[in-house]
Structure 1
Amino acid sequence: MPQQSFLDSMPPKQSFYFGLISGIGGMAIAGLLFTMTGGFASGGSPLAKATAPSAPSPTAAALAPSPTPSPTPTAADMPPVTDADWVRGDVNKAQVVLVEYSDYECPFCQRHHPTMQKIMQDYGDKVAWVYRHFPLTSIHPQANPAALAAECVGEQKGNDGFWKFTDAMFDNQDQLGDTFYEQTAKSLGVNVDTYTSCYTSKKYAQKVSEQYNGGGAAGVSGTPATFVNGQLVSGAVPYEQFRSIIDSILN
């Protein structure tokens, strides 16, 4: 007689429910195994494939060539000293040449001016001082007019007149203005009509602009900025710092 199975020994109704429960349990186990093994053999469920993010395509910015960086300004880019410059001392004999980019209305330039005067006094013929305009017109409205006036005085009175006018601007910085420029020019013996024509026509605007641009090309971004044999010293630094640099060059 064949041996009865466990289900055969159960009443029909109980056997039906037991089979139903077993089938549901089997499907649950199969579903769990399906999930753990990564779904279909072809590499994941259709739902996973539908919702998985696709690899981003290269954007136009990524494909565009990188911009070439602008070269960093260096002292080598500073325009050379020429006969058009105003110079205290002799650049052909001096061992140290200081090229200052300055602004007549700049308070730091006013503080720096006596330092430069002391350098000339202490080192004499060993140094030469070149003055160039770098008017910060956005914050100093009188910087450019004063530079134009200085050039007009220099036109008539030469190197000596230019430097005397420059000293007067820094000694009386709180008086900058058309009236003061003309009064100072008169005190230096200029022909007033010639000076007035030069100043009002802005005759030397291009020269001032070229000096400003030349300083910017060499790395000047503020005033005062002084190149000591090509070494940039920014700001109104103490006299001792300049002395250290100058002495190292002379020795």
Structure 2
Amino acid sequence: MEKNKNLLIPAAIFGAGVLIAISIFATGGLNIPPRGGLPAQVGGQLPSENNALPSVAPPVTADDHIRGNQTAPVTIIEYSDFQCPFCRQFHPTMRQALAEYGDQVRWVYKHFPLDQLHPQARPAAEASECVAEQKGSEGFWQFADALFENQERLGSALYREAAEQSGFDMTQFDACVSERKYQDKVEAQMQEGIRFGVTGTPGNFVNDTLVPGALPYANLKTIIDAELEKL
């Protein structure tokens, strides 16, 4: 009898693991408590059924990286993690949206590194800001494209390689990375995302609507079209 009980324990653990995996792939994103365990407080308390999340999108500021028409009627804000496989999956989806909709859509990137799962997410985010320091948003987006295309190689060697190939001042880049010059910016964006209801990556806002997960292009297109119909 005791032997049968012992056999049931690994089976139960395996079953729980399968359910977690199914849940992650069903939602198309990673929904993991950020750095420090539980999410930071929202309005003094954690979100619950009786505490509605904000109904507006986070602000877009001059410090954000924007791809597309600055005055587009549809704004998609993505809270992302360079090591998140679902963010990598969603990246070309967003590029397709910009290509199809042109001046009607703008893409805003904000950092949301999930340290518990992705040890390179935060270093990559900070390195991307060091790139932007020299080359602005255009340089940032080129660097972001390179990181997602080579996600399996994330690390300091890839960051230097991508920066060097783009003609950056490597002395300035290395100093920026080593002193973690942009750690506060990365953390501030993550905390902002938490305040606005983001719990995983990619966490997206299409105008004022929070749309989590790596949406298939057809789904994203439906949402964009609905926003354009409101004009």
TM-score of the two chains, using structure 1 as the length reference: 0.70
Letter in structure 2 aligned against 1:225 = G
Of 230, 234, 241, which aligns to 2:208?
Answer: 230
Return the alpha-carbon distance in structure 1 between the equivalents of residues 53 and 221 of structure 2.
25
Q: TM-score, normalised by structure 2?
A: 0.76
In the alignment, does 2:78 pair up with 1:100? yes
Count residues with an aligned counterpart.
182
**How far apart in 2 are the matches of 1:155 and 1:191?**
11
Instruction: Note the residue ranges of structure 2 that are not aligned, 5 or more in a row.
Output: 1-43
Identity within the alignment, %: 47
SS in 1 for 2:146: helix
Q: In the alignment, what sits opposite 1:121? A: 99
The CA deviation at 1:250 is 1.0
| Matching of residue 203 in structure 1 with residue 185 in structure 2 | no
Structure 1 counterpart of 2:124: 146
1:248, 1:73 → 2: CA distance? Answer: 22
CA distance in 2, matches of 1:110, 1:169: 9
CA contact (8 A) 1:135 1:143 kept: yes
Larger Rg: 1
Q: 2:224: which partner in 1? A: 246
- The aligned runs of 1:66-77 (5 Å cut-off) are 71-76=51-56
Determine if contact 1:75/1:219 at 8 Å carries over to the other structure.
no
Separation in 2, partners of 1:123, 1:85: 21
Runs of 5+ consecutive residues of structure 1 not aligned to the other structure: 1-67
Structure 1 residue 69 displacement after superposition? 6.4
After TM superposition, the structure 1 = structure 2 runs for residues 18-167 of structure 1, keeping only pairs within 5 Å, are 71-76=51-56, 78-91=57-70, 93-167=71-145
Q: Which structure ranks higher in relative contact order (CA pairs < 8 Å, sequence separation ≥ 6)?
A: 2
Q: CA RMSD in A?
A: 1.3
Q: 1:175 to 1:200 in 2, by over 3 A?
A: same
> For residues 75 and 201 of structure 1, do their structure 2 counterparts lie closer, same or farther at Cα, with a shift above 3 Å needed?
farther
Q: Secondary structure at the match of 1:100?
A: strand
